[in-house]
Structure 1
Amino acid sequence: MVNWITPGVLASVLLWQSPVAVALQANQNSPRIEPQITQSDVVPARLDTENFAVALRGGALAIEDFGNSGLAAVQLSYHINEDFYVSAEYALAKAGLTSYERLSGAAPLLTDDERQWQFYGAELGYVLLPGEVYLGSDYAINTGWSLFAGAGNVDFAGDTVFAVKFGSQFRLYLTDWLALDLVVNDYVFETTILAESKTTHNLSMALGLAVYF
């Protein structure tokens, strides 16, 4: 029995004194080093969670054959979710003189009341590219670029016609309840003002503010 135990004891002693064992024992007795990592503060985007927004805009409208004029518009929107929204819009402008009226000196084709241009209708929009604009390295502003299409009526030249509209909107969120937006769209409708029926494209660009509530 003694002859069997003695080699085992000797082997254990030799193994304990080996370099590997000494290194393992040193690692166990050495103090633990904790990494000093500074945690950065992450500030989440603070956008208003309300679904309704009212926008007031001013810009320019190019009424085909009647030149450019000022444009005023008001829009009420409901955000269905983060991607889709629906809006109702009312826009107002006043047409100028046609090139025929300016060059010929003939009697005006329209009265002042008939030159009033109005659109009222609705649209469906899709936020295609939500994102951020960085001002320096420490400040960022939330943004959203959307596409929309809709339809409504245009009152112009003493007549009411059906119109479709489509365009894009870029919105810059100044605070959690206030946004600056730029809208470009095209109002498309048929007219017979110049003695023939034709489809007109009336481009507009407007800048405004939107309030969420």
Structure 2
Amino acid sequence: MVNWITAGVLASVLILPSTAAFARQDSDSSSRIEPQIDQSEVIPARLDTENFAIALRGGALAIEDFGNSGLAALQLSYHINEDFYISAEYALAKAGLTSYERLSGAAPLLTDDERQWHYYGAELGYVLLPGQVYLGKDYAVNTGWSLFAGAGNVDFAGDTVFAVKFGSQFRLYLTDWLAMDLVVSDYVFETTILAESKTTHNLSMALGLAVYF
């Protein structure tokens, strides 16, 4: 009788560890979570390798003392590298009436030809924040936000004066050769139109397209 009891005890000792190990292994396998995540492939727009770009823009120009007017600008740019570019620009607008002319009903201060506003100059730009804009989950287009500064001449009111220009540009690359940009600028120059010399700030905002070639 004692031998049977001893044999039963030994069998229990041998079986229980293996049973516990099997149960622990089964519990581990059942509690493991395998993630099923599909990786989406984002395809950014590839840019053209050409360094030249020509841009045509239209917008508004606030000529100090003469109100707002339409603005048209043509710009030719050369991209030195991914960060820096230089540009030559020609812009034109037409000044409106001053508040004095509107309120007093006096003779116009300027003729129609003298109200023509022209700017031509050059600038240096730096791409401060290159990036991307995602269109849906599978496609992205490249963007670039840059700052620029330059100088040139303004023909206005029968005179030609030196002007400084600075501002920023946000460019969205639609294809490898076509981009859309938004440009905010300030044209700063001296004027003596109202019988005293003063520095004027002439703010503009223009939207346009640029073609790389």
Give TM-score, length-normalised by structure 1.
0.80
> 1:100 and 1:49, CA in 2 relative to 1: closer, same or farther beyond 3 A?
same
> 1:48 and 1:97, CA in 2 relative to 1: closer, same or farther beyond 3 A?
same
Provide the C-alpha distance between the structure 2 equivalents of 1:81 and 1:107, rounded to a whole number of angstroms.
Answer: 53
Runs (4+) off by over 4 Å: 37-45
CA drift of 1:42 comes to 6.5
Secondary structure of the corresponding residue to residue 82 of structure 2: coil
Question: What's the counterpart of residue 123 of structure 2?
Answer: 123
Question: What's the counterpart of residue 9 of structure 2?
Answer: none
Question: What's the counterpart of residue 134 of structure 1?
Answer: 134
CA drift of 1:135 comes to 1.6
CA drift of 1:137 comes to 1.3
Among all aligned residue pairs of Structure 1 and Structure 2, give the percentage whose two residues are the same amino acid. 93
Secondary structure of the corresponding residue to residue 102 of structure 2: helix
Question: What's the counterpart of residue 65 of structure 1?
Answer: 65
Provide the C-alpha distance between the structure 2 equivalents of 1:199 and 1:89, rounded to a whole number of angstroms.
Answer: 22
Would you say the 8 A contact 2:44–2:142 is kept in 1? no
CA drift of 1:41 comes to 5.5
Give TM-score, length-normalised by structure 2.
0.80
Provide the C-alpha distance between the structure 1 equivalents of 2:40 and 2:64, rounded to a whole number of angstroms.
Answer: 56
CA drift of 1:43 comes to 4.2
Provide the C-alpha distance between the structure 1 equivalents of 2:140 and 2:53, rounded to a whole number of angstroms.
Answer: 22
Aligned residue type for 1:107:
A
Which runs of no fewer than 5 residues in structure 2 stay unpaired?
1-36
The superposition leaves residues 14-70 of structure 1 with CA deviations (integer Å, 9 ceiling, x where unpaired) of xxxxxxxxxxxxxxxxxxxxxxx9987564641001000000000000000000000
Q: Where do residues 91-170 of structure 1 align in structure 2 (5 Å cutoff)? A: 91-170=91-170
CA drift of 1:136 comes to 1.8
Secondary structure of the corresponding residue to residue 100 of structure 2: helix
The superposition leaves residues 108-154 of structure 1 with CA deviations (integer Å, 9 ceiling, x where unpaired) of 00000000000000000000000001122112111000000000000
Secondary structure of the corresponding residue to residue 101 of structure 2: helix
> 1:40 and 1:69, CA in 2 relative to 1: closer, same or farther beyond 3 A?
closer
Aligned residue type for 1:147:
L
Aligned residue type for 2:127:
V
Secondary structure of the corresponding residue to residue 101 of structure 1: helix
Provide the C-alpha distance between the structure 1 equivalents of 2:59 and 2:39, rounded to a whole number of angstroms.
Answer: 47
The superposition leaves residues 147-194 of structure 1 with CA deviations (integer Å, 9 ceiling, x where unpaired) of 000000000000000000000000000000000000000000000000
Aligned residue type for 2:55:
A
Asked if 1:178 corresponds to 2:178, the answer is yes
Which runs of no fewer than 5 residues in structure 1 stay unpaired?
1-36
Q: Which moved more, 1:155-164 or 1:44-53?
A: 44-53
Provide the C-alpha distance between the structure 2 equivalents of 1:188 and 1:120, rounded to a whole number of angstroms.
Answer: 13
Question: What's the counterpart of residue 75 of structure 1?
Answer: 75
Provide the C-alpha distance between the structure 2 equivalents of 1:96 and 1:65, rounded to a whole number of angstroms.
Answer: 9
Provide the C-alpha distance between the structure 2 equivalents of 1:38 and 1:96, rounded to a whole number of angstroms.
Answer: 60
Secondary structure of the corresponding residue to residue 103 of structure 2: helix
Question: What's the counterpart of residue 202 of structure 2?
Answer: 202
